[in-house]
Amino acid sequence: MSAKKSYAVLGLGRYGIAVAKELVENGAEVLAVDIHEDIVNDAIAEIPFCKCADVTDEEVIKQLGIANMDVVIIAMATNLEASVMATMLCKEVGVPTVIAKCSNEMNCKILSKVGADHVVFPERESGTRLAKNLLSHGFIDIMELSKDVSMIELDVRDEWVGKTLLELNLRQKYSINVVAIIQNNNVCANIDPKQPLEKSMKLIVIANASKLNKLK
C-alpha cells in the first residue's frame, strides 16, 4: 500500500474550494492557500489547514513547505500571471505533480510551457471530479454514466502484464467490464480476450462506483 499523498490547493475560488473539500472529506492531507483573508476565514471551518499568503512569492512558497507536497493544484485561472508564477515556483522547489486550472486554450499552453504537468478546464472537469481522480490511485474517471456507474481509464498493473483478459477474469474479481484498449494513442474496441496485456496499454472499463475500492 502506498503512503498517503499530501496536497496543496492554491486559490480558493469555487473550483479550489471544491477540490480541497473533496480531498479533506476523503481523509487526504490538504493545505489550502488564498491571498484574501476573508476567503481563508470562510474556508477554515471545512478545510482545517488554511493559510492567507501570496503564492507568487518565492519565500512564501518555501515557508509554506510546498516542496514537501506530492501534488499542488493551482486554481487561480482568472489571474494568469499569478498562475504562471506559482507554477514555476512549485516546480523549482521540486513538486512532483503540478495541476493548473486555466480559462482558455492559450492559457493552458502557457501554463504547460512553464512547467504544469496537467491543465484542467473548470467547465470540462469539476473540482470534485478532479479530487476524486487524484484519490483514485491509478485510474481516471472519464465519464459518469449514472450516479452509480462510471467509465474509467485504467493502467495495466505490473501483475497483469503478459496475462490475457481471459486469464485475469477482471469482471469476476473487480466487477469491471473492459470495453476498449488504448495503445500508442489508438483505441481498439474490438478486444481479443486472448491477447496478452502490455504495460504500455490502458484499459477503458465500465465499473460500479461501489466496487472501485477493489481497484485501489
pLDDT of residue 123: 54
User: Are 20 and 122 found together in one domain?
Assistant: yes
pLDDT of residue 63: 96
pLDDT of residue 44: 92
User: Are 36 and 119 found together in one domain?
Assistant: yes
User: Are 38 and 130 found together in one domain?
Assistant: yes
Q: What is the DSSP letter of 2?
A: P
Per-residue CA distances from 128 to 13, 73, 92, 93, 194 (Å): 13, 13, 28, 27, 37
Domain count, the chain: 2
What is the DSSP annotation of 170-208? Answer: HHHHHSEEEEEEEETTEEE-S--TTSPP-TT-EEEEEEE
Domain hosting 110: range is 6-135
Residue 1 lies in a domain: no
pLDDT tens, residue order, the chain (216 aa)? 345 789 999 999 988 999 999 899 888 899 999 999 999 999 998 999 999 999 999 999 999 999 999 999 999 978 889 999 999 999 999 999 999 998 888 888 889 888 898 888 765 556 666 666 666 555 555 555 555 667 777 888 899 999 999 999 888 888 888 888 888 877 787 888 999 999 999 888 887 766 666 665
Q: What is the CATH number of the domain that holds 25?
A: 3.40.50.720
User: Are 38 and 104 found together in one domain?
Assistant: yes
pLDDT of residue 153: 77
Q: What is the CATH number of the domain that holds 170?
A: 3.30.70.1450
- Residue 213 burial (10 A CB sphere; 0-12, 13-18, 19+): exposed
- Residue 27 burial (10 A CB sphere; 0-12, 13-18, 19+): exposed
Residue 174 lies in a domain: yes
User: Are 39 and 117 found together in one domain?
Assistant: yes
User: Are 194 and 174 found together in one domain?
Assistant: yes
Q: Beta-carbon neighbour count of residue 101 at 10 Å?
A: 28
Give the distance, in angstroms, between the CA of residue 46 and the centroid of all CA atoms in the same chain: 20
Choose one of 115, 135, 155: the last residue of a domain.
Answer: 135
Choose one of 97, 118, 135: the last residue of a domain.
Answer: 135
User: Are 130 and 204 found together in one domain?
Assistant: no
